[in-house]
Amino acid sequence: MSSDTFEGGLDEPSGLEPAQGTLDLADPEDRHDRAAWEAAAAAVLRKARRLGDDDPDDRVWAKLARTSLDGIAVTPLGTPTDLEGLTTAGRPARAGAWDVRAHLALGDDARTDHETLMADLEGGATSLWLQVGAGASPDWATLLDGVFLDLAPVVVEARDDAAAGLAHELLDHLLDRPDAAELHPGTNLGVPAALADAELAHRAVRAGVAAYVVDASRWHDLGASDVQELAWSLAAGAAYLRTLTEAGTPLDDAVRLVEFRFAASDEQFPTIAKLRAARRLWARVLELSDATPAEQRQHAVTSRAMLSAYDPYVNMLRTTVAAFAAGVGGADAVTVLPFDTPLGQPEALGRRIARNTSALLVEESHVAVVSDPAGGAYAVERLTDDLATAAWDLFGELDEADGPGDIEARIRELVAETVAERDRRVATRRQPLTGLSEFPAVDEELPQREPSRDDREVRRWGAAFEALRAEPAGTPVRLAPLGTVAQHTARATFATNLLAAGGVRVTPEAGSPVACVVGTDAAYDAEGAELAERLRAEGVSWVVVAGQPREWADDSCAMGVDAIEFLTRTREKLA
């Protein structure tokens, strides 16, 4: 393939059927038009004071829409008009349950790791994802003793400089086993696609296993958006195909040897749309490459970046939503990371809950019974198309780059911009993180874990709040209420939670250099200045007001405040 292979647009013919019309089966009394929905939604927003009495009803679309980190507008309601001129592509081919893939970062004790892996398999896992640390040389015989390789695929992840050698070692071991003729085709030697070589490809083809991984989830771990993750996967996948075909590997063999890994987050609809868009995009790459049509093999792993080291049990909810989205989105294999992953090396409880998350979704919730349950949903189809179009455009830019180094540099530049915008949303709590930036338990005792063996670089979304919580303030803030309990409770609760998110406790007692006044606006007008003067006479040097700024206060905190900046200032005054 030449470098100009992918000059075609995404919307050129690709054998995909156009969106079909819908059949309205609703009873006459249950049929409502757009104007009726706008009126009902506007009434709710006016009651919440988010819409003025004179604002037109159709302004609800602007009020309720949100913009993704990729600049894609996500409307509050999908409508049939969203599908006008679109193609419904990227539908999952998987029928039935997904592969439950357990992850383990290997250590120095192969026997202990073997026991952990066998517990995973006996507990419901159907494949293994083994992460090999730098410089390690696993004892494959001990690790895989008793593993039925015809039933349980094994996928390896190793550092770039050691991946090829480890792949050959693993393949040697697999081919020496008595069951070598029955290796599961889902087994993957785990070499990064950028290190593809014809020798390993030839051996993998003969053995009937995959050899390469396009791991886009590593960019998600560093903060990439969905479009950036998708575009990089295409650039890496296209470069992989070029490398192998130029070395003499048949194109269709190269396609069969690669698996794509994506992150699944608790933003369920973007995750569903991302996986659907990924299949559509890869199908277009194969079409333009003159390859035989083939389904993209997808492995989805629950996002490391979305997890929190504080109130870690909330991670169970995050990973459940992410696993649901991955399954609905059609991932062939799903890895649910244990809830205690951010704390260190996960223990048996976390691993069991991670396995059972998929078991409950598949066996009890029957999520996998229907193929592509989100297919035809107006909002999902629209979002799938928007993600695919934006990713294809960025892929075109990356594909014109001068080599892998330029692609990496450009992606890092884009990811840095995304991280800055996400940090702003997290800091202002437009993107709330339960248990961390919202509803924090400032006095919680965290479970203790052994140091993690997972050497991936991860920038968690709540990193700034976690840094504050890691070193809690030694002095509390004095809470100074005005009015009755009913009058000041709302703002007292707001201020208490905001301060707790930064590792700052509150107290009603005197003695702190910082005081936070809480009450109603009317109470501030009537008594605020007097209370601030009294607090300063008692030794308070920094007066904060919960609400909009006041002349008599040194600082203020309200909805939308940059919490990180506010908490940093407050902690400096406490120190």
Instruction: Answer yes or no: do 401 and 483 share one domain.
Output: no
What pLDDT score was predicted for residue 18? 41
Confidence band of 15 (pLDDT split at 50, 70, 90): very low
Please provide residue 340's backbone torsions phi and psi, each rounded to the nearest 5 degrees. Answer: -95, 15
How far is Cα 36 from Cα 27, in angstroms, rounded to an integer?
Answer: 16
* pLDDT, mean of residues 133-153: 94
326 has pLDDT over 50: yes
Q: What is the CATH number of the domain that holds 478?
A: 3.40.50.280
Count CB atoms within 10 A of the CB of residue 176.
10
Q: What is the CATH number of the domain that holds 403?
A: 3.20.20.240
**SS3 (DSSP) at 264:** strand
CA of residue 571 relative to chain centroid, distance:
31
449 has pLDDT over 60: yes
Instruction: Answer yes or no: do 390 and 244 share one domain.
Output: yes
Confidence band of 401 (pLDDT split at 50, 70, 90): confident
Q: Which amino acid is at 528?
A: G
* pLDDT, mean of residues 236-258: 97
405 has pLDDT over 90: no
Q: What are the tens digits of pLDDT across the range 91-117?
A: 888 889 999 999 999 999 999 999 999
How far is Cα 55 from Cα 494, in angstroms, rounded to an integer?
Answer: 29
Q: Which two tokens stand for residue 286?
A: 């194969």
What pLDDT score was predicted for residue 159? 80
Helix ranges, 258-403 (H)? 268-288, 315-329, 348-359, 378-399
Instruction: Answer yes or no: do 405 and 472 share one domain.
Output: no
Of residues 1 and 326, the one with the higher pLDDT is 326
Taking the chain, what is the end-to-end CA distance rounded to the nearest angstrom? 63
Q: Which among 98, 151, 89 has a CA at the least distance from the CA of 381?
A: 89
Instruction: Answer yes or no: do 156 and 253 share one domain.
Output: yes
Q: Which among 194, 105, 200 has a CA at the least distance from the CA of 157?
A: 105
- Describe the crossing of helices 110-122 and 348-359 by its angle, rounded to 10 degrees: 30
Confidence band of 19 (pLDDT split at 50, 70, 90): very low
Instruction: Answer yes or no: do 507 and 404 share one domain.
Output: no
Enclosing domain of residue 303 = 99-338+373-409
What pLDDT score was predicted for residue 316? 98
The answer to whether 317 touches 336, Cβ cutoff 8 Å, is no
Buried b (16+ CB within 10 A) or exposed e, 92-119: bebeebbbbbbbbbbeeebeebbebbbe
* pLDDT, mean of residues 496-513: 96
Q: What are the tens digits of pLDDT across the range 346-399?
A: 999 999 999 999 999 999 999 999 888 998 899 999 999 999 999 999 999 998
* pLDDT, mean of residues 243-263: 97
* pLDDT, mean of residues 120-132: 97
The answer to whether 72 touches 321, Cβ cutoff 8 Å, is no
* pLDDT, mean of residues 179-195: 93
How far is Cα 228 from Cα 414, in angstroms, rounded to an integer?
Answer: 8
Split into its structural domains, the chain has a count of 2
* pLDDT, mean of residues 508-528: 96
Q: Which among 96, 71, 102 has a CA at the least distance from the CA of 302?
A: 102
